[in-house]
Amino acid sequence: MYPFISNTWIMKTDLRFDSLVLLSLVNDVSEHVKVFRNCLRDQDSRVRALALKKLYEISREVLLGFKDEIEGMLSDPDMKVKQEAIKILKKIRTGPGI
C-alpha cells in the first residue's frame, strides 16, 4: 500500500548491517561488546550472524559472561546465525588455542 515505508525499513536494515561492518573495521570488537550483543536481537538475520561472527573475536572469558544468550541463538530460524553461535560455543567449551 505504501511502498516507501517498506523501502525505508529495508534501508534502515541495510544501514544497521553496514554500520556494524564499519564499526568492526575501525575499532576493536572488545570495545563494543554491548553493541554487538544488542545486535543479537535484531530483526535482520544478517545483522545477528555478523554480530556473532564479530563476538567470536573477543576473549573466551568475556564470552562466558553471556553463554546463555549465545545458546539461545541456536533456536534462531536462520542457519547462518546457528552456525556462528555454534562456533562461539565451541570456543567457550574448548578454550583458547585448541
The pTM of this model reads: 0.79
pLDDT at 86: 98
Residue 28 belongs to domain with CATH number: 1.25.10
Segments forming the whole domain that contains residue 58: 3-94
* pLDDT (average), residues 63-68: 95
**What's the CA gap between 50 and 45, in Å, rounded?**
8
Cell numbers at 88, concatenated: 562461539
CB 85 within 8 A of CB 71: yes
Please report, as a single letter, which amino acid is at residue 80. Answer: K
Buried b / exposed e over 41-69, threshold 16 CB at 10 Å, is: ebebebbbbbbbbbbbebeeeebeeeeee
Total structural domains within the chain? 1
pLDDT at 96: 55
Give the confidence band of 69 by pLDDT, cuts at 50, 70, 90: very high
- What would the pLDDT profile of 43-63 be if each residue is shown by its tens digit? 999 999 999 999 999 999 999
